[in-house]
Amino acid sequence: MPTLVMKFGGTSVANLDRIARAAKRVAVEVANGYDVIVIVSAMSGKTNELVGWVNETSPLYDAREYDAIVSSGENVTAGLMALRLQEMDIPARSWQGWQVPVKTTSAHSNARIEEIPTEKINAKFGEGMKVAVVAGFQGISPEGRITTLGRGGSDTTAVAFAAAFGAERCDIYTDVDGVYTTDPRITSKARKLDKIAFEEMLELASLGAKVLQTRSVELAMRYKVRLRVLSSFEEPSDSAGTLVCDEEEIMESNVVAGVAYSRDEAKMTLISVADRPGIAAAIFGPLSEAGVNVDMIVQNISEEGRTDMTFSCPTDQVKRAEKAMQDAKASGAINFHDLVADEGVAKVSVVGIGMRSHTGVAAKMFRVLSAEGVNIKVITTSEIKISVLIDRKYMELAVQALHDAFELEKAG
């Protein structure tokens, strides 16, 4: 039998009625002749509630116990989904991460999947089980402790199972009906994409699009897992959702596939740092050790033998970055005149594999922003993306203007 992986997010299993609705979708695929692996998230809001209980009980919590607690939401959903399917006369069984077992690293609350043995579930399929309902977001460490994969980890679980079992496809059911050219809440002209290349989706996910977890897209691209993003609240059809696939499957597309944004960005500048070999390592080494996620980096010559170093990071990591830099200065590793943090910025990016073979995208982007009176603070580029840091108050204006300028409301 061919295998299909279906993943249901928190809003899709938020209550018993929605679990029943999701179970009906699973039943359709069973009737289509698939052995189905269903990956479930916790009911909407449950993980936040569990995290709140942990913080209230022990602000400086043991990470191993944190994982044991917050992973329990998925276990409840898996059991309820299996019961619902059984009530529909579909042979189903729930599986917790340790029962498969989903083997992970020991990095509690941010573990990575290392292996998913297929023998146990395949044996049950051979005995007549039609649906394996697996608790997402969790696994087991080499030490035998429950681990979790970080927020959005159920997406990664689903893709990893699709890769391990050689699934025909991995369907991700969520509260949106696909991947859009930009956030429909910002511009009504945003268009749902029928297909998007892995690389484009990876860039959009990493640049702020919230549809799929970045790690899940990385995994899908590495193992060539065809992903389909669908709404669990719309009637199924052949044209439903967005297929995330290999570039070769997309016949023709726009030069720019989408406009992404990240609202919670901060720009930090170390003023008057020594301009010498190794200074970048001396700055970004301590930031990495402090867990600061540095994104855009620009170096400017300020005076003879000195330089200014500017970088961006999430706003919730500013204090951590400031402490890391002050500690490095106190230790003598670096010396700087001042550290200036601007927490009122946002990142706006255009993404598209068509940019590889088309020139002038950057020039057009900068011209459009200039015409709208938007000042660019930092620029970074890659083969298929251009990102700029701008004042946050202009973020929505910039997204709308770029979406219009590249005519993303029109299909390629």
Largest CA distance in the chain: 78
Confirm or deny that 267 is annotated as ligand binding. Answer: no
180 known ligand binder: yes
| 9 labeled binding residue | yes
Burial class (CB within 10 angstroms; exposed 0-12, middle 13-18, buried 19+) of 398: buried
Total tally of structural domains belonging to the chain: 1
Task: Inform me whether the pLDDT recorded for 232 exceeds 90.
Answer: no
What's the pLDDT at 321?
Answer: 95
**CATH at residue 76:** 3.40.1160.10
Q: Residues 133-147: what's their mean pLDDT?
A: 97
pLDDT, the chain, mean: 92
Q: Which two tokens stand for residue 204?
A: 């959009």
Q: 185 among the known binding-site residues?
A: yes
Residue 261 lies in a domain: no
74 labelled as ligand-binding? yes
Q: Is the pLDDT of residue 284 over 80?
A: yes
- 73 known member of a binding site: no
| 336 domain residue, yes or no | no
Angle between helices 214-223 and 198-206 (to 10 degrees): 160
Is residue 137 a known part of a binding site? no
Structure tokens that stand for 22 in this block: 């999701």
**Is 319 inside any structural domain?**
no
Which of 211-215, 221-225, 306-310, 315-319 comes out lowest in average pLDDT? 211-215
pLDDT for position 357: 80
Reported as a pLDDT band with limits 50, 70 and 90, residue 276 is: confident
130 assigned to some structural domain: yes
Residue 10 labelled as part of a binding site: yes
Residue 305 scores a pLDDT above 90: no
Q: Is it the case that residue 41 has pLDDT exceeding 90?
A: yes
Residue 368 one-letter amino acid: V
313 within a domain of the structure (yes/no): no
122 found inside a domain: yes
Q: 114 a known binding residue?
A: no
Q: Cα-flanking dihedrals φ and ψ of residue 75, to 5°? A: -60, -40
More confident site: 357 or 399 = 399
Sign for the CA dihedral angle at 357, 359, 363, 369 comes to negative
- When mean pLDDT is compared across 63-77, 90-104, 252-266, the lowest value belongs to 252-266
Is 182 annotated in a binding site? The answer is: no
Q: How confident is the model at residue 302 (pLDDT cuts 50, 70, 90)?
A: low
Q: What are phi and psi of 288, to 5 degrees?
A: -65, -45
pLDDT given at position 174? 86
Q: ∠334-337-341 over CA atoms, to 5°?
A: 95
| In a domain? residue 116 | yes
| pLDDT at 1 exceeding the cut of 80 | yes
- Domain that includes residue 38, residue range: 3-175
* DSSP string computed for 22-73: HHHHHHHHHHTT-EEEEEE-PPTTHHHHHHHHHHHH-TT--HHHHHHHHTHH
Give domain status of residue 388, yes or no. Answer: no
pLDDT, tens only, 98-115:
999 999 999 999 999 999
pLDDT (tens digit per residue) in 347-394: 999 999 888 888 889 999 999 999 999 999 999 988 889 999 999 999
380 is an annotated ligand-binding site residue? no
- For the chain, give the percent of residues with pLDDT over 90: 71
pLDDT of residue 283: 95
Q: Is the pLDDT of residue 211 over 80?
A: no
